[in-house]
Amino acid sequence: MSATIDVLNPGKPKRVAIVASNPTTSKQTGWPIGFWWSELTHPYLEFGEHGYQVDIFSPHGGKLVADNWSDPRDASKYSADDLISLGFICSPEHAKLVENSRPISELKQEEYNAILLVGGQGPMYTFYNDPRTHDLASSFYKTGKITAVLCHATCILLKAKLNGKLLVEGKTWTGFANSEEEFADSYVGKRIQPFRIEDEARRLSATNFIVASRFKAHAVRDGNLITGQQQFSGTAVARLVIEALGV
């Protein structure tokens, strides 16, 4: 099942593959973790409004589970204002998309114009050490297709390689900032992530990692690589993808 608005693109709608984390458990906190709702739903809406077809994948396929704090219905009220995600969750047709994600082994690159790997707490465990996700991003990029990575999913860019070199070598990119990690850790009273993307990115040579204000929308395009800083950057990332694809 996908999102299409054929009236806007009656000929051949552009297609985007969104890849989200399978559920897992944090070794840092012991929490059940997965993807972040707004990082999936906000780009999904933006793509749909431009007539794009969107399919949702995960490394293993199957039912996806979001981080609790990203759910507008959660008792914490952390994401209570996220009406886009609330609408997605409450739509049976759309809810099926995350209940039955397709495994990336079924993702046929030639059928898609772009790929978007979304974050949440899960990718730091499910993407970071998974060569399949690294190779997927590198493969899209190598064939000249738009490769977008958002929030904690940018951890893959610390390892993904292209022709033996890091994909981000010589490129400007962004990801979850130290200031945001510090805020989150302080908010819950413990360290959440096993490592910090900004720390690791700044240890790399020949790459330019940049961040903007804490928890403000920030997306960067460098050629066919598009990156977003955190959960408030999903729409900005999607708009850069749409711009890169020529609407």
Average predicted confidence (pLDDT) for the chain: 95
**23 near 98, Cβ under 8 Å?**
no
Which pair of tokens denotes residue 239? 């708009």
| pLDDT for position 8 | 47
Q: Is the dihedral of CA 99, 97, 43, 117 positive or negative?
A: positive
| Domain chopping of the chain, boundaries | 15-244
Question: With bands split at pLDDT 50, 70 and 90, how would you rate the model's confidence at 3?
Answer: very low
Q: Are strands 208-209 and 172-173 parallel, antiparallel or unpaired?
A: parallel
Please name which of 236, 235, 230, 195 lies closest in space to residue 213, comparing C-alpha atoms.
230
- CA–CA separation, 52 vs 77, rounded Å? 31
pLDDT in tens, 204-239: 999 999 999 999 999 999 999 999 999 999 999 999
Strand order in the sheet with 219-222: 102-103, 53-58, 15-19, 114-117, 146-150, 225-228, 219-222
> What does residue 30 show for φ and ψ, rounded to 5 degrees?
80, 5
Q: Which residues pair with 220 in a beta bridge?
A: 227
**70 near 80, Cβ under 8 Å?**
no
Question: Percent of the chain beyond pLDDT 90?
Answer: 94
**242 near 46, Cβ under 8 Å?**
yes
Question: With bands split at pLDDT 50, 70 and 90, how would you rate the model's confidence at 247?
Answer: confident
Please name which of 126, 29, 1, 121 lies closest in space to residue 71, comparing C-alpha atoms.
121
| pLDDT for position 11 | 67
Other C-beta atoms within 10 Å of 81: how many?
Answer: 10
Which pair of tokens denotes residue 228? 């977003």
Question: Percent of the chain beyond pLDDT 70?
Answer: 96
- CA–CA separation, 44 vs 216, rounded Å? 19
| pLDDT for position 169 | 98
| pLDDT for position 12 | 85
**114 near 140, Cβ under 8 Å?**
yes
Question: With bands split at pLDDT 50, 70 and 90, how would you rate the model's confidence at 10?
Answer: low
Which class does domain 15-244 fall in?
alpha beta
Amino acid identity, position 142: K
Tokens 């790997």 sit at which residue?
A: 117
| pLDDT for position 2 | 44
